Amino acid sequence: MLRRGLHHRNRHLHTQIPKPPSPEASAIASLILQTPSQTLTLTLDRLNHNWSPNLVDQILKRLWNHAPKALQFFNLLDRHRSYTHSASSFNHAADIAARLRDYVSLWALLNRMRARRLGPTNRTFAIVFERYVAAGKPDRAVKVFLSMHELGCDRNLCAFNTLLDVLCKSKRVEMAFELFRVFRGRFRPDVVTYNIIANGWCLIKRTNRALEVLREMVERGLEPTISTYNVVLKGFFRAGQVKEGWEFFLEMKRRGCEIDVVSYTTVVHGFGVVGEVEKARRVFDEMVKEGCLPSVATYNALIQVLCKKSSVEDALVVFEEMVRKGYVPNTTTYNVVIRGLCHSGKMEKAVELMGRMKGDEREPNVQTYNVVIRYFCDAGEVEKGMELFEKMRSGECLPNLDTFNVLISAMFVRKKADDLLAAGKLLIEMVDRGFVPRRFIFNRILNGLLLTGNQWFAKEILRLQSQSGRVPRQFKL
């Protein structure tokens, strides 16, 4: 069992609770969602509200998974008589437009920012890099980096590191390394640069290349930090090289590295993933004995290990123990436990824990809902999944692309005509919210509707498919 010697601490020492969205932001976001697009201008005028940048940012976040409504709200407020958007609100709007792949609107927003001397800043360009790479356009992201100065933002080391980080995290490590090699004379690499490249090699399980990066740092007179060592340590465990990872951890100790909570958390999680639960527990105990207080992330790692490799009951014991010791579980903690409960078939307990989150000032997020909805659907309880979806739809936590995909797939299991109609309606709502379904989803629903004699609805779906840019294959209607 875990050691009991860890003293109780004040909660603020373990975690800082982020402020939840204000009731005002939630209420306005719900009102925007319920208002038809054509009358939203009138509704906002009637509010006669004292808008602030912070409130607008919160509303945009609440509307995140209904991109068309979010952008309409932003654009309507941009014409307000007494309110002016902040740089952060522009960044939110740019992110939403880029996610929709509406690049015309994206660049119009960037030009507007420049005209108002609000940017674009490094933060803005980080968003642009990430969205282009996510859309499969890494070359375009590089071109944007090279032309940053044309929009009044210097190409500095910070921006360069951001681009490399985005490329590496999307596993385009070879491309990132080539840029690193070409530009290291122009942008003098720092420890952050090397950490990013090392992490990139680790992400694609090429740990030897990460070790080369470590050696090059030393040759160039840069002292690797504990974060650099942790990157490589994590790389070993990620690649399944558990023995090598453990030896590297011991070597870190021999070298006198200031082993921190991230190092221990990495080892706890690494042992757990390969099923060595007892070793994971021993490392957890050792860190406490050596005076390194576990973080919420450490507990999350151990709880996840227990859920996957031991039992959810053991995980719940650790969960309650961390609460007794003054730690405040974060959303990740709850999501890990809820997933474990769902996997064990304890759906009622999972839903009950979702309710408990609010008591800890933790709102269930879209991942929380998606996990529970998926397990309900897998168990054939589609109606219960739809009940949760209705909660999300009302504005409590807007559904994302995964939510729609899970529910649409569930509608095909029972092969009922009503379920296929429901799948068609979900598809229409999905597109209305700004998501672009895969062509496979369109074709699957079209086939289902045609087989069940719903030609009239199939025609609507076919028209929607053409409008969304997903060229339909030939169907006989």
Distance CA 352, CA 347 (A): 9
pLDDT at residue number 212: 95
What are the tens digits of pLDDT across the range 126-153? 999 999 999 999 999 999 999 999 989 9
What are the tens digits of pLDDT across the range 415-426? 788 898 999 999
When pLDDT is averaged across residues 445-468 and rounded to a whole number, the result is: 80
- Residues 410 and 423 sit within 8 Å (Cβ to Cβ): no
Q: Is the pLDDT of residue 21 over 80?
A: no
CB neighbour list of residue 17: distance below 8 Å, 6 or more residues apart:
328, 361
When pLDDT is averaged across residues 174-199 and rounded to a whole number, the result is: 95
pLDDT at residue number 472: 44
Q: Is the pLDDT of residue 268 over 60?
A: yes
Phi-psi region of 259 (alpha: psi -120 to 50; beta: other; left: phi over 0): beta
Mean pLDDT, rounded, of the chain: 89
Quickly tell me which residue has 């062509």 as its tokens.
439
What are the tens digits of pLDDT across the range 47-92? 878 899 999 999 999 999 999 999 999 999 998 888 999 999 999 9
Instruction: Return the minimum-mean-pLDDT range out of 40-54, 178-192, 199-213.
Output: 40-54
Could you tell me the maximum CA-CA distance found in the chain, to the nearest angstrom? 73
Q: Is the pLDDT of residue 13 over 90?
A: no
Task: Grade residue 468 by pLDDT with cuts at 50, 70 and 90.
Answer: low
- Residues 441 and 402 sit within 8 Å (Cβ to Cβ): no
Enumerate the domain spans of the chain.
329-408, 411-477
Helix spans in 239-311 (H): 242-254, 261-273, 277-289, 296-309
DSSP H or E run through 458? helix 455-467
Q: Is the pLDDT of residue 394 over 50?
A: yes
Q: Is the pLDDT of residue 334 over 50?
A: yes
Instruction: Return the minimum-mean-pLDDT range out of 133-137, 288-292, 315-319, 458-462.
Output: 458-462
- Residues 106 and 86 sit within 8 Å (Cβ to Cβ): no
When pLDDT is averaged across residues 341-362 and rounded to a whole number, the result is: 90
Q: Is the pLDDT of residue 396 over 90?
A: no
What are the tens digits of pLDDT across the range 404-415? 999 999 998 887
Q: What's the CA angle centered on 130, arms 429 and 392, to 5 degrees? A: 30
Distance CA 25, CA 37 (A): 19
Instruction: Return the minimum-mean-pLDDT range out of 98-102, 148-152, 331-335, 472-476.
Output: 472-476
Task: Grade residue 314 by pLDDT with cuts at 50, 70 and 90.
Answer: very high
Quickly tell me which residue has 């054509």 as its tokens.
38
Instruction: Give the distance from CA 237 to its chain's centroid.
Output: 22
pLDDT at residue number 473: 46
The secondary structure of residue 39, as a DSSP letter, is G
Helix axis angle for 157-169 and 191-203, nearest 10°, is 10
Q: Is the pLDDT of residue 348 over 80?
A: yes
Task: Grade residue 358 by pLDDT with cuts at 50, 70 and 90.
Answer: confident
